[in-house]
Amino acid sequence: MNPALTQIGAQMSNLTGVRAIMKDIIETLRAGAGQQFINLSAGNPLILPEVEQLWRDCTAQLLASPEYGEVVCRYGSSQGYAPLVEAIANDFNKRYGLNLSDRNILITPGSQTLYFYAVNSFGGYTPSGELKQIVLPLSPDYTGYGGLSLVPKALTAYKPTLDIDEAAHRFKYRPDFSQLSITENTGCVLFSRPCNPTGNVLTEDEVKKIATLAAPYNLPVLIDSAYAPPFPALNFTEMTPVFGDNILHCMSLSKAGLPGERVGIAIGDEKWIEVLECFQANIGLHSSRYGQAIAALAINSGALVEISHTVIRPFYQNKFTVLETSLEQAMPKDLPWFLHRGEGAIFAWLWLQDLPISDWEFYQQLKQVGVIIVPGSSFFPGLDEEWAHKHQCFRISLTGTDEEIATAMQRLAKVAEEAYKGAAVIA
């Protein structure tokens, strides 16, 4: 007999977005025992030897330190492990010319948890019954945003404009400021930079324009910087984090090699940080202190920034180059395919314009030739209107070997050619 669930229980137990796809992928891999798949679906970063060694070295330092017992065997502050908070403040003040104190920083169990705190603190129903919207100013964006709000209808997203270079088979999403609405009914704004899944990096001017639109309403703009500098620095184009009175700069150490430790970081005005810290105290006291302690060592030594720039970024940037080169060689020139400009993150985003079958059907056909990628329609949370583009896109992980990525793109090109050819024959 199924348990009797509340509305929130039923909502939070649903498989949403890409998680439903991942369930299908796991079942496919189990059912296809013996079949060789090139699996380019994962959001899990690869274990890079130099990065793993950094965390081993920091762990050895912690074990040898008199602080070990204090870190592991005692509860701590809801705000975070003090040496990590201090390390972040010192690094960012020096690096970006800021004036952060310990009250401007909060450590959470991963950035996903941080966004859960934020969207339910600032979005949803007010005590007077007014609905405050959670605005995603540019869609597609991170699929995980779709399951955060305890009031699902509070989430709203806006279609972008498409900057298309037909000759080069490239495109880029840009915020459509003619449509974007931030008003007294908005509770908070949220977007990723660089973006999962597209690799898009909003320009500094675009970020400042969004923050300016939000400023009159005294609401926070959360910038999901899980791939941004200074660590893991998975930006392939020049970019600088943007800070401001109404900006919450949100980070994660997952792509810097610590996804298992769930370390999220929020940097912003004390009034926002205090609200989120109270939420965290009620939910789970504080984040794991072990991960925080080794992170403090890596930041203070400068090793984390160094390895981000010399190991992590070049590794994934090379993978993107392999993917785009392979697509250019394999894709028929007359097909309307467009690769999003590779500006950061660990994914590529492919748009097959006017694809005659759905993204889900294309995903199923690709599996038949041993390639797994992620249908793109999962990455439009909050965008309820019908838009054919949503079913023509795919996220491709850069976590395969060079040979796997090249082979997968060759097979993808053949499946795409057959899909368009089949539609032409039927017509």
- CATH assignment of the domain containing 390: 3.90.1150.10
Over 319-369, what HEC string results?
HHHHHHHHHHHHCCCCCCEEEECCCECCEEEEEECCCCCCHHHHHHHHHHC
Residue 44 has pLDDT above 90, yes or no: no
Same domain, 26 and 54: no
Same domain, 26 and 140: no
Same domain, 292 and 350: no
**What backbone phi and psi angles, to 5 degrees, belong to 316?**
-75, -30
> What is the pLDDT, as a whole number, of residue 284?
83
**Dist CA 94 CA 99 (whole Å):** 9
> What is the pLDDT, as a whole number, of residue 289?
87
Cross-strand pairs, 276: none
Residue 426 has pLDDT above 60, yes or no: no
CATH code, domain with 93? 3.40.640.10
Same domain, 289 and 199: yes
Last residue of a domain, one of 255, 276, 306: 306
Mean pLDDT across 391-397: 97
Q: Give pLDDT tens digits for 327-371.
A: 999 999 899 999 999 999 999 999 999 999 999 999 999 999 999
Same domain, 147 and 184: yes
Same domain, 62 and 41: no
What is the number of structural domains in the chain? 2
Task: Give residue 15's pLDDT band: very low, low, confident or very high (50, 70, 90).
Answer: low
Q: Identify whether 378 is part of a domain.
A: yes
Cross-strand pairs, 156: 135
Q: Identify whether 176 is part of a domain.
A: yes
Q: Give pLDDT tens digits for 283-315.
A: 888 888 899 999 999 999 999 999 999 999 999
**What backbone phi and psi angles, to 5 degrees, belong to 304?**
-70, -45
Last residue of a domain, one of 306, 322, 340: 306
pTM given for the model? 0.92
Last residue of a domain, one of 306, 333, 355: 306
| CB-based contact 345:252 (threshold 8 Å) | no
Mean pLDDT across 151-165: 95
Same domain, 289 and 348: no
**Dist CA 38 CA 403 (whole Å):** 10
- Residue 133, classed as helix, strand or coil, is strand
> What is the pLDDT, as a whole number, of residue 427?
43
Q: Identify whether 1 is part of a domain.
A: no
**Residue environment code for 350-382, b if the CB has 16+ CB neighbours within 10 A, otherwise e:** bbbbebbbebeebbebbbeeebbbbbbbbbbbb
**Considering Cα of 423, then 425, then 426, then 427, what sign does the dihedral take?**
positive
> What is the pLDDT, as a whole number, of residue 425?
45
Same domain, 173 and 267: yes
Same domain, 298 and 367: no
Domain housing 411 = 7-48+307-426
Same domain, 330 and 420: yes
Higher-confidence position of 17 and 94:
94
Task: Give residue 424's pLDDT band: very low, low, confident or very high (50, 70, 90).
Answer: low
Same domain, 68 and 11: no
> What is the pLDDT, as a whole number, of residue 166?
95
Same domain, 396 and 320: yes
- Residue 15, classed as helix, strand or coil, is coil
Q: Give pLDDT tens digits for 222-273.
A: 999 999 999 999 999 999 999 999 999 999 999 999 998 899 999 999 999 9
